[in-house]
Structure 1
C-alpha cells in the first residue's frame, strides 16, 4: 500500500559489526615466541645455532650462531624456547627431585629434577605446531652426534629427548652443581637451600650433608608464576604440574664409549607459567567435558567427538 505523501518511511535498525574476539593469553604467548629465532617450532631453527665440542669429555652443546663473529668472543649458549604443558605423568620437579636412597642415581648431589612436556589437548595453535617441534628435535640430536664425529649408525640411544611412540619431551634441571665448575653462585631469592622442605627426613639430612660439605651450590628451580614472581619450592607441584608454560631449554649431548650410548639432554634454564594448572573436577563426566580444544574460529571441539 502506498505511503501517504509526506509520511516518514520507517528505517529498520542495522546490526552493528561485532568487535573482534580478543586473543587468549595462550594465543598471545604463542604469537610472541613463534618469531623467536630459537623457537623449537620454527622450520629454520637449526639455521640459528652452531655446535661447540669439548674433545676432552666428548660433550657437545648448542650455541647461538653469530654472523661475522669475533673469533675471540665468548660463545653464547643457545636457549631454545617452547610453549608446552608440563605433564602430570612422571613429574619430578620437586625441590629434591623425588630422590631417595633407592633411586637409580645413588648420589643425591648428582640427582636431577625431571618432567615431561607435551602439547596438551586444549590449544590448537600448539597442537598444530608440535610435529615441527618433534622433527626439529630429531634433527638437533643428529646434528650433535655428527659434530662429535660419531657414526650416525654407531652405538645405541641412551638418554633421548623424545619419548618413543608419544608426543612427550624429556627435560631436567640440576639440583646441585660443583662450585669449581660453576662461574657464580645461583640467585635463589628468598629460598636458601637450608629452608627447603624435602619429601622425607632422610633426604633432608642428605641435603644438609651436601650443603655442609661446601663443594656444591644448590639451585632452586628458575620457575616464575603469571606475575613473574619466583615460585616457592613448596609450591612447585601445585603451580607447575599440569601448567602451560613458556620454557627455555639448553641442549647438550655426550657419547659414552664405555657402553656405546648416545645421550642427549634438555636442561631447564627458565620456566614462566602462561596458564596455571586446571583444578580437577570431582565428577568424571565433568572431567570429560573439560577435555576440549581451542579452535581458531573460537569454537570448542571436544576430544573424541
Structure 2
C-alpha cells in the first residue's frame, strides 16, 4: 500500500511543479506549453482524484462509497503555423477536447450505453455488497475502445511518423543549403521538442495499451480475467501520469531551471515571472 501512495505522491507533486512552472513564467506561455499544461492538469487530477479511491479499492477489494497537431504544423508547415496556431486558438482547442471528453464520459452513463451486469456474471470473488459494477456489451466495449484509445492512438502514431520523416528531410536540406546558424538552432529546438513529445506519446501508448487490450478481450471470455491482474493493469496505466514530469525534467532544460527556482522559493520574488529560462 505504501508503494501505491508513493506513486500518488510523485504523480501529484511532479505534475503540480509542471503546472506552476508553465503558469508562472511568462516565457513559457506558448501554444506548445499550454498543451503540456493541459496534459499536466489531466495527470494531476488523475493522481489526486482517481488514484486515492483506487488505492482503497485495491486494498479493500471493494468500493464502499458507491499537443500534438501543433507540433505537426510546426515541423511540416513552418511558414504558416505561427499565424494559425495562436495562444487563443490553442486555448479553444483545449477547451473543446476537455468538453468532448466530459460529454462522452457522462453520455456513456446517462444514455444507458453502459449496461449494468447481472450478479450471476460475477463469481463470489468478484462480487461484493455495496459494489457498483458496471459493464458493457461486446459491441459497446469495442466502439468505446476504438473512440477513446485505438483510433486516437493510431492517429498520433501516423502524425509522428510524418513529423519524423519531414524533420529528417528538413535536417538534410539544412545541411545542404548551409543556412544561418540561428535558423539551425531554431530547427534543432523544434526537432528536439517533437522527439520529446513523441516519447510522451510512446509512454502513453506503452502504459495504456495493456489495459485496453484486456478491456476488449474481457467480455468475450465472460469477464473471467482475474481481479488481481485487472488491478495491476489499471495501476500500470496510471503510472503514465507519474512518468511525464520525469520526461520533461530529463529533456527540457527550461523545466529543470524552473524547478530549481520553484523549490528555492524564487517565484515569490517580484518580476520572477519574467526570468529568462532559455538563456544558454
The TM-score bracket by the shorter chain reads under 0.3
Larger fraction in strand: 1
Larger radius of gyration: 1
- TM-score normalised by L of structure 1: 0.25
Tell which has more relative contact order, 1 or 2 (C-alpha 8 A, sep 6+): 2
- TM-score normalised by L of structure 2: 0.27
